[in-house]
Structures are given as C-alpha cells and as structure tokens.
C-alpha cells in the first residue's frame, strides 16, 4: 500500500525554504514528503484549519495522520521521515536540550528570513518589516546559513562539473569537426599549460573556419596545434578575422596570414588594442600566452567576403568594447566569438560592460539565428542537418538561448540598481545577484570562486556588479586602464 505522504507548505520566495526543499528532494528516496509552494495554492481548500498568512509567517506541515504542525515541530517531523537525518529527530525527542536548540534555531531563521527577502527586492511580501538601509546583519546570517546548508551540494556539483570538463576536453582535444557539408570547421586548439583553462572552467580554445574565413585563431601558445590543423584545412583561406582583442583570439593573426596568404581583418578598435603598449596580466600571459603586435591588417568593414558568399559584420560590444560578430544571413549562422558565453552571467572579465551587452543581445535576438557558434567550443542548434557531436553540439534553439541570457542580464541589472538604491555594499549586491535558490546560481558557485582565486578577482562575480556601473569615460582599474587606454569608442 502506498504511504500517504506528509505535506510541507513552503514559501517559494524564501531562499531558505528552497534550500530545504532541495535537500528533501535529495534525501527523500521513498517519496514520503510532498512539498507544495504556497504561492498559487488554495491553502484553505487543502485544509480549512490553515490560512495563507499564518503559513507564510512560518513553515507548516500536514502529517500523514492529518495533524498540522508549525515551525520546529514540523521540521522535527520531516527530519524523522528522512532516514539519513532521522537521528536528529530522535535526539530531539530524547533530550530536551537538543529540542530547545532546534526550536531556537528555527525561530531565529523564521524571524530573519523576511529581511533577506527584502534585500532580494521582494518588498511586496505581506508583513515585511521596514528596515533602515545598511542594517544587514540578518541578511548575512541568512546568507551564511544558506551557504552552509548547501555546501555539500555545491561541493558535489563542483566535482561533477570538473569531471564533465575533463571529459569534454579529452573528447575534443586537438579534434577538427566539420559541419554544414564542410562549410563550418571547428578546430580545437591545445597547448601547455593552456589546458588548465578548459579543465578548470570548461572553456576550450578553438578557431572556427567558415567558408574560407578563419575566425579567432588562438593564442601564441597554441601555434603548434594550429599548424597541425592547417594541413587538414586545405587551401583557399581568404581572411583571418579577430572578433576582439583578448589574447586567446588574436595571438596568431599575422602568423596564420603569413602561411596562407589570407588578409587579416579587424575592427579599428581591435587593431588599436593590439598596438603596443599593452599588457596581458601575468597569470593569463603564463597560461594562455601574450599578444604579438599586429603587423598588417585591414579594417573589417560591414561585410567579409567568403568563398561562396559573404558574412555580415555586426558590432557586439559588451564582453569587450571592441567586439564584433559575423553572421551569415543565408544559413542563419552566427559566429558569436565571446558575445554569448553561456545562458547565465558570472565571473566576467574586468572589461565587461553589462549595459552594452544587454543592447547587443537585444540586437542579436532579432536575427534569425539557427546555428550559434561560440569561440570556446560549443555550437547551439536544433537543426537536424547538424549531427550530435558530444561535448560540442548543444541541442538548444539559439534564439531561446540568447533570450534566456538577455533575461538573466536584465534581472542582474535590476538587482544591481535595487542594491544601489538601498545603499548596499558591492558585496551585498553581489550576494543578491546570486541567491541560493536558483540552481544556475549555486551549482556554479564552486567554479566561480575558483576563478576568483586564480585570477585574484579579475574574473569574478564582483565584476558582474561592476559591469553595470561602467561608463566608457570612467577611469578603469588594472587591465582595462592599460588595455583600453588607446581605444576609440566603437559606439553602442
Ligand atoms: Zn574574450
């Protein structure tokens, strides 16, 4: 006979409730607990003894036997239903001191969770007490508690992601993948110690060759790998294009052009960045390579002629100010460089401009894109003429992917603006931008903190907050100050 499950009524807007529900779904093997969000639920119809206000104030549980339990009594009952943690419930029943500690803890959490929600911009919550700006201790208490609650999950997903990164890297290492009847070839570039980047963060290095045009041919440390691909590519390379001036995209522009007789095409803004003096930060220089000065180049213009047609050149500032993308309107292929970079936004480089990136994605989302080619090894498409390639082809409609990224960026901008209005510190704003509730936020936490550590904060979630405050006439710190000093603003 199936067991009638106990029902947990929880507040979907509360990060703590969400953390609890994540754990219940991980531990409740026998499905003895049914979790129902209060939002959109007719509580009185479920049980006439209950009303929404009381349920929002604290957690309520309806046991399988029909009892209604609130707060700590409810938590203790649920703990007893989960074999992995049932000893906690047993201990609380046996020892009054443990029971009191549990009750105090749940009371403290219940009292401070509304402060957290207010900081998260959920001021519409009934009964939310007003609070002077800057008084954040309940917020940090909540934030830290949530972090501890999720830490094992974060560690587990980080380990899993590192494993997946290693698998993808091994699958594609040095490979050349030909798609669209040979019109598009993606060459995976290797080198030591550049492999550290794909292994740690999943960003592999590639050069895309589209109908006789090579795009972003890697860094100086990947030259040998690029040379090995050259034989397989055949002749007839017409142009070598840089989408932007980051070192893993521009290290072999002249080198490849010298060997193939192709022209080097770049935007004037990118070419200006490739004139000395420039400085790649030490860590990136050591792992990825430095930027050789650009000897000869032609302005890329609005169109690039390919072997059989042409590519439109579209300005795409955001990831960097000089970024351009290439689009084949006939095929719906967008060669996006780094203008997409996954559906959520975290640990950007220190030269990101969030507002401009939103404007760029708005324009890209209006294009009829059927194949989105990223510079770091992924192709997003649902087209059936593109086969499944493990670790490369992502079966996702590129237009939807772009819209999702756009929504994520707009939400982050709203969080940053809200935080500014409330007078919060950058650290607190960062925490509100990455709440513990949504999976996209906590499952990347481990790798994002690793990126912060390795780059001493240059690639970090803090940069997301800063990216929405940048104006192109600001004086920027470190990398940006050096690298963009000579740049003409390419305009929005
Ligand atoms: Zn880049």
Does residue 251 contact residue 260 with C-beta atoms inside 8 Å? no
Q: How much distance in Å is there from the Cα of 12 to the middle of ligand 1? A: 37
Q: How far apart are CA 474 and CA 490, in angstroms?
A: 16
Q: What angle do CA 429, 161, 185 make, to 5 degrees?
A: 105
Token pair recorded at residue 105:
């803890």
The single-letter DSSP state of residue 85 is G
Q: How much distance in Å is there from the Cα of 234 to the middle of ligand 1? A: 28
Does residue 184 contact residue 214 with C-beta atoms inside 8 Å? no
Q: How much distance in Å is there from the Cα of 63 to the middle of ligand 1? A: 54
pLDDT in the model for residue 479: 34
Q: How much distance in Å is there from the Cα of 20 to the middle of ligand 1? A: 38
Among 108, 97, 337, CA closest to 215 = 337
Q: How much distance in Å is there from the Cα of 439 to the middle of ligand 1? A: 25
Q: How far apart are CA 164 and CA 155, in angstroms?
A: 14
What are the chain's domains? 6-113 (no CATH), 161-483 (3.60.15.10)
Among 223, 225, 282, CA closest to 250 = 223
Q: How far apart are CA 264 and CA 284, in angstroms?
A: 24
pLDDT in the model for residue 3: 55
pLDDT in tens, the chain (492 residues): 445 799 999 887 776 787 788 788 878 888 899 999 888 888 888 899 998 888 888 889 999 999 999 999 999 999 999 999 999 999 999 999 999 999 998 888 787 766 655 554 443 333 444 444 444 566 677 777 778 888 888 999 899 999 999 999 999 999 999 999 999 999 999 988 999 999 988 999 999 999 999 999 999 999 999 999 988 777 689 999 999 999 999 999 999 999 999 999 999 999 998 988 777 888 888 888 888 888 989 999 999 999 999 999 999 999 999 999 999 999 999 999 999 999 988 877 778 899 999 999 999 999 999 999 999 999 999 999 999 999 999 999 999 999 999 999 999 999 898 888 878 888 888 888 887 767 788 888 888 888 888 887 788 888 888 888 765 544 333 333 333 333 433 333
Q: How much distance in Å is there from the Cα of 78 to the middle of ligand 1? A: 48
Among 3, 42, 39, 41, CA closest to 18 = 39
Work out the number of other CB atoms within 10 angstroms of the CB of residue 395.
Answer: 10
Q: Do the strands 298-299 and 263-266 form a parallel or antiparallel pair, or are they unpaired?
A: parallel
Q: How far apart are CA 121 and CA 377, in angstroms?
A: 36
Q: How much distance in Å is there from the Cα of 106 to the middle of ligand 1? A: 46
Which residue is associated with the tokens 């549990």?
102
pTM, two decimal places: 0.76
Burial of residue 352 (number of CB atoms within 10 Å: 0-12, 13-18, 19+): buried
pLDDT in the model for residue 470: 64
Ramachandran angles phi, psi of 6, nearest 5°: -75, 150
pLDDT in the model for residue 476: 38
Q: Do the strands 333-337 and 184-189 form a parallel or antiparallel pair, or are they unpaired?
A: unpaired
Work out the number of other CB atoms within 10 angstroms of the CB of residue 214.
Answer: 28
Q: What angle do CA 159, 164, 165 make, to 5 degrees?
A: 95
């Amino acid at each position: 006979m199936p067991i009638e499950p106990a029902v947990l009524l929880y507040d979907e807007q509360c990060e703590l409730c969400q953390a609890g529900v994540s754990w219940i779904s991980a531990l409740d093997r026998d499905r003895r607990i049914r979790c129902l969000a209060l939002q959109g639920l007719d509580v009185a119809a479920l049980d006439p003894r209950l009303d929404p206000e009381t349920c929002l104030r604290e957690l309520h549980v309806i046991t399988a036997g029909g009892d209604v339990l609130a707060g700590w009594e409810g938590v203790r009952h649920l703990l007893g239903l989960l074999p992995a943690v049932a000893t906690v419930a047993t201990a609380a029943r046996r020892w009054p001191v443990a029971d009191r500690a549990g009750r105090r803890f749940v009371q403290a959490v219940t009292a401070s969770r509304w402060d957290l929600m207010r900081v998260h911009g959920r001021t519409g919550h009934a009964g939310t007490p007003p609070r002077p700006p800057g008084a954040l201790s309940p917020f940090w208490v909540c934030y830290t508690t949530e972090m501890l609650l999720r830490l094992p999950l974060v560690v587990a997903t980080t380990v899993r992601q590192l494993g997946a990164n290693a698998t993808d890297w091994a699958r594609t290492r040095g490979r050349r993948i030909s798609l669209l009847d040979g019109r598009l070839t993606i060459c995976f570039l290797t080198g030591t110690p550049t492999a550290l980047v794909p292994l740690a963060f999943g960003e592999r290095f590639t050069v895309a060759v589209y109908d006789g045009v090579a795009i972003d041919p890697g860094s100086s440390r990947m030259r040998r790998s690029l040379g090995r691909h050259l034989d397989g590519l055949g002749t007839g390379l017409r142009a070598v294009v840089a989408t932007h001036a980051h070192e893993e995209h521009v290290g072999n522009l002249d080198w490849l052009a010298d060997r193939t007789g192709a022209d080097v095409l770049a935007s004037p803004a990118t070419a200006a960045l490739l004139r000395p003096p420039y400085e790649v930060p030490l860590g990136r220089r050591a792992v990825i390579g430095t930027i050789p000065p650009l000897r000869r180049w032609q302005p890329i213009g609005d169109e690039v002629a390919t072997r059989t047609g042409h590519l439109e050149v579209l300005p795409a500032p955001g990831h960097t100010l000089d970024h351009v993308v290439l689009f084949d309107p006939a095929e719906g292929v967008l060669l996006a460089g780094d203008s997409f970079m996954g559906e959520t936004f975290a640990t950007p480089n220190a030269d990101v401009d969030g507002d401009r990136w939103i404007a760029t994605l708005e324009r890209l989302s209006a294009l009829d894109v059927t194949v989105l080619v990223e510079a770091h090894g992924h192709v997003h498409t649902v087209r059936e003429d593109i086969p499944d390639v493990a670790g490369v082809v992502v079966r996702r409609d590129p237009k939807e992917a772009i819209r999702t990224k756009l929504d994520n960026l707009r939400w982050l901008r709203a969080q940053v603006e809200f935080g500014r209005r409330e007078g919060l510190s950058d650290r607190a704003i960062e925490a509100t931008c990455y709440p513990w509730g949504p999976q996209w936020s906590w499952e990347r936490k481990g790798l994002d903190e690793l990126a912060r550590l390795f780059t001493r904060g240059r690639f970090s979630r803090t940069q997301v907050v800063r990216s929405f405050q940048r104006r192109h006439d600001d004086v920027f710190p470190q990398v940006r100050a050096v690298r963009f000093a000579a740049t003409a603003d390419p305009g929005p």
